[in-house]
Structure 1
Amino acid sequence: MDQKLARRRFLKIGGATAAALAGSVTTAGIAWSSPTAPPTRLTDGVFTLGVASGDPLHDRVVIWTRLAGNPLALDGSGGMPSRPVAVSWEVAHDERFTRLVRRGMTMARREDAHTVHVDVGGLEPARWYYYRFRAEGQLSPVGRTRTAPAPGDLPSSWTFSIASCQNYTAGYYTAYQDMLAGNPDLVVHLGDYIYEGGAQGAYWEHMPFRTAQRPAGPTMTLYRRLHWGRLATINMLDTRQYRSDHVPDIEADGPAAWDPDRTMLGTEQMRWLVDDLNTSTSTWNVLAQQVPFFEDPDVGAENDKWDGYRVSRQQLLEVMASGRPRNPLVLSGDIHANRAADLKLDFDDPESVTVGVEFTGTSITSGGQAAATVRHDPDPDNPHFRMAGTGRGHVAITVTPQLARADYRIVDTVRQPTSAARTVTSYVVEEGRAGLAPA
């Protein structure tokens, strides 16, 4: 992640739900001509929104930018002309681009909000790369990205951070500075990447991942699967588009919540997930999704969390209990608070078998400034909760063949452009032993 990721301007770029981090920004001045001569000159500073990358496979990664000389233009054009703009791109082993690996050209078009979305293939596994774009003499910042390990490899470790809920009007996104210092392999964003309203079709269709394809119908396929060698399978779920309904909230433990026809993921996505869990050979099986999976009767009426879809959740709990997917690890956000929870086959029975664990991260800024608090084993009505906390920040997670560790990182403030951060608590789960323990 480059140092500009922590700045508020970064927040307008298309997000990466599983974004490979970009590196330090530079403007290495290597001149090479644009493939076409522009009929009219672009305004200066068309790379105001920076660069991003995401969806790493072992041999490829998606790189992204959007041309916008005036990102806040009221007509939604980003200050760009209506004509297409030729954009060249380069990928290299070094940030000075003396060892080029791939290069090419694509067109940024008005109907796509002048975004550039390149699926760069032919890369080496488990390797960092640098990338940049050029448009009519203007050079973008340099981003740093990486590929996933080869399918047969077992990495000694995998580091990533989870983030969610970043409201542009609620504060500075200072948690990203702390992520940069941790040098993670990935950032997994779990939802509410942007709160601003308005028509954003081009924004969503051209985020930096390869499976954002719009099928016939009102939704587009955002769920997908990544592999970190043999160490982990990461199922990125979509719990927003395929829910049975968006009617007013239902009683979380009422009859409607147990309706077998109610589904959180939709039939196709649920089958896709269960089939993988039943056949996975990975050491860790990660479910990265938007909303809390654990039971929380104190929440009350809900229709957008798993408590409102009990039969669907129970189906997944039973798959986890079967032992076929090793070491289930659920990631969630949404509630603007930290949680660490054991996942029970029967949440109503504290003695029920533990089938997996869940790490829930607080918001980046949503809810505004909040004091950091941590309570261990906090709720007698929810004995599966191991920790509940408040504050703003992210969760830094390290996975090895032997254990997974979650460090809950809280920033001191979101009211200033920069902030110190600290770990307020940490939890681990050992391979082959479902259940959380304090680190």
Structure 2
Amino acid sequence: MAQVNRRLVLLGGVAAAAGAVTLPTSLPAWARSRTAASAPAIRDPFQLGVASGDPLPDSVVLWTRLAPAPLNEDGFGGMPDAAYDVEWELATDENFGSVVQNGTVSTSRAMGHSVHVEPEGLEAGRDYFYRFRTEGHLSPAGRTRTAPAADSAVDSLTYCFTSCQHWEEGWYHAHRGIADDDPDLVLFLGDYIYEKPSGREPELKVRGLAVTDETTTLALYRARYGQHKTDSDLQAAHAAAPWLVVFDDHEVVNNWNSTSSPAGTQRKEEAFQAFYENMPIRSSAVPDGAKIQLYRRFQWGQLARFHLLDTRQHRDAQAEDDSCSVMRDPDRTITGSEQEKWLLDAFATQPSTWDFLGQQVFFAQRDGDGDKDTCDDTDAWDGYEGSRDRITQGWVDAGVPNMVVLTGDVHRHWAADLRQDYFDHDSAVVGSELVTTSVSSTSAGAEPPSEQWLANNPHIKYCQGERGYVRVTATSGELKADFRVVSDALEQDPAKVEITTDASYVVEAGTPGLKPA
């Protein structure tokens, strides 16, 4: 066990010893309500809560995973090697007095005893409540919603997005804030787990990993997801709204790419399998060996489209150093040619007011010295300028009026205008980028941008190093982004932690560029 500070809570050790985790008290009353269990063949298997995701106008994914002892190192979650039938219910009221659909699915060790249900024929643009039952046990309830019909007028959309939640490095107060905000959607843009223990100083770690080994096998990835999902605030955020999720690098290994290095084929296979088992995503994403179909698109009526990208699985290897000749090679790609074409083809159709590009790494240029002959950040879009140029030119040529890129990865809030030539500070603004800070992963020691750095990058409007998330409210007239921050992610007691808006920016529809709210 890694050394931790005086506020450490060994949730992993306590839960592993007890074989169960108590039901989170941060969930609303309707989500906590359960029926009494008869003498079951297994202990309460719903320790990881419930979730929903990938909403369509007539369907949404409902998820849970059976795991009475989710922290076990063998990755089986305390489940016997047997198949179990799991009943599910979907209702229009939180008391389940009006059940509109139900059914039974079977799950086994082959799928980590995870459950993915995709009910169809639902009513567009409405809330539903769902729950599961097996062996006399009833799960907590979740609330979800279907997307509005594609041709429907939508007055407003509120969604929250965040990323990067190292278990050891902070409490998940950001997820409590997300649940309290009651959003229509939640986007998670990568690093849901970390493949290895934190290397931070003891005073920057608040709780320990039950299994401290680096995740290199399916069993260890399953156990790591299991521990994360015992967090009550994370469970509350999952239960509050449907999620759209993509992975970044730490769901596999730091800075992996499309080649065999630094993640080999077998490690990718097992990491992808664990990711699918633990995420509320559709069966179209069931891994095919070391491949997983993760980029996809969702529409929210006539108001918004979300293009979710995969910038890991198809990218060229990162440049070995900050070589401009490599990073500016026009043939290099961060998306792969097929995904790039998929995105560019979509720009030709514009069914919604806002286009949101949900992806992982910094899109806008961040130039340290203002010298065009030097380059920075091989892992972000700066390291793949050809990809960035083609995609930006694609939405400009197609006349996409309101492009907003959503980004995670960097453990700090940022807001930036997007240009085609970042060295021409008078060039036209063609979009905006909103970057979320992390849920818990620290950026301690990172210096704020200097005045000279900001002068070299005048398209960068804002930077904040605290933990938190971004809340976006979109209407047909404008978008407002609230950069929400947690006062102290190292403090466990929520009564001592404030979640506030540090800054807000507005984008007016049809007029690219960020303005302070």
Normalised by the length of structure 1, the TM-score is: 0.88
Aligned residue-pair number: 412
* Distance in 1 (alpha carbons) for counterparts of 2:188 and 2:298: 14
Q: What is the identity, as a one-letter code, of the residue corresponding to 1:205?
A: Y
* Distance in 2 (alpha carbons) for counterparts of 1:305 and 1:22: 39
* Distance in 2 (alpha carbons) for counterparts of 1:281 and 1:192: 31
* Distance in 2 (alpha carbons) for counterparts of 1:109 and 1:306: 40
Say if 2:297 is the partner of 1:225.
yes
* Distance in 2 (alpha carbons) for counterparts of 1:24 and 1:403: 34
Work out whether residues 51 and 140 of structure 1, in 8 Å CA contact, stay in contact via their aligned partners in 2: yes
Q: Deviations over 1:49-99 (max 9, x none)?
A: 000100000111000000001001111110000000110000001111110
Q: What is the identity, as a one-letter code, of the residue corresponding to 2:348?
A: N
Of the structure 1 ranges 132-141 and 214-223, higher mean CA displacement relative to structure 2 is found in: 214-223
Work out whether residues 374 and 390 of structure 1, in 8 Å CA contact, stay in contact via their aligned partners in 2: no
Q: CA deviation at 1:415?
A: 1.7
Q: CA deviation at 1:214?
A: 4.8
Q: CA deviation at 1:373?
A: 8.0
Q: What is the identity, as a one-letter code, of the residue corresponding to 1:255?
A: S
Please, which runs of 5 or more residues in structure 2 have no aligned partner?
A: 1-10, 13-26, 196-214, 222-269, 370-374
Question: 1:142/1:157 Cα in 2 relative to 1: closer, same or farther (>3 Å)?
Answer: same
Q: Deviations over 1:363-420 (max 9, x none)?
A: 1110177999899997001011111111000000000000011000001111233222
Q: Deviations over 1:339-377 (max 9, x none)?
A: 110001111100111100000011111017799989999
* Distance in 2 (alpha carbons) for counterparts of 1:416 and 1:230: 42
Question: 1:190/1:90 Cα in 2 relative to 1: closer, same or farther (>3 Å)?
Answer: same
* Distance in 2 (alpha carbons) for counterparts of 1:211 and 1:374: 43
Say if 2:346 is the partner of 1:346.
no
Of the structure 1 ranges 290-299 and 214-223, higher mean CA displacement relative to structure 2 is found in: 214-223
Query: Pairwise mapping of residues 54-203 of structure 1 onto structure 2 (< 5 A)?
Result: 54-196=53-195, 197-198=215-216, 199=218, 200=221, 201=270, 202-203=273-274
Q: What is the identity, as a one-letter code, of the residue corresponding to 1:43?
A: I
Higher helix fraction: Structure 1 or Structure 2? 2
- The match for 2:513 is 435
* Distance in 1 (alpha carbons) for counterparts of 2:315 and 2:28: 33
Question: 1:240/1:23 Cα in 2 relative to 1: closer, same or farther (>3 Å)?
Answer: farther
Query: Pairwise mapping of residues 303-318 of structure 1 onto structure 2 (< 5 A)?
Result: 303-318=378-393
Query: Pairwise mapping of residues 329-368 of structure 1 onto structure 2 (< 5 A)?
Result: 329-367=404-442
- The match for 2:339 is 269
Question: 1:376/1:124 Cα in 2 relative to 1: closer, same or farther (>3 Å)?
Answer: farther
Q: CA deviation at 1:23?
A: 8.8
Specify the SS of the correspondent of 2:317.
coil
Q: What is the identity, as a one-letter code, of the residue corresponding to 1:422?
A: T
Work out whether residues 191 and 334 of structure 1, in 8 Å CA contact, stay in contact via their aligned partners in 2: yes
Q: What is the identity, as a one-letter code, of the residue corresponding to 2:297?
A: R
* Distance in 2 (alpha carbons) for counterparts of 1:423 and 1:375: 23
Please, which runs of 5 or more residues in structure 1 have no aligned partner?
A: 1-7, 10-20, 34-39
2:310 corresponds, among 238, 241, 244, to 238
1:302 corresponds, among 349, 352, 377, to 377
Q: Quick one: percent identity of the two aligned structures? A: 42
Question: 1:374/1:344 Cα in 2 relative to 1: closer, same or farther (>3 Å)?
Answer: same
Question: 1:104/1:22 Cα in 2 relative to 1: closer, same or farther (>3 Å)?
Answer: farther
Specify the SS of the correspondent of 1:319.
helix
Question: 1:142/1:171 Cα in 2 relative to 1: closer, same or farther (>3 Å)?
Answer: same
Work out whether residues 368 and 376 of structure 2, in 8 Å CA contact, stay in contact via their aligned partners in 1: no
* Distance in 2 (alpha carbons) for counterparts of 1:23 and 1:330: 36
Q: What is the identity, as a one-letter code, of the residue corresponding to 1:424?
A: D
Q: CA deviation at 1:25?
A: 1.6
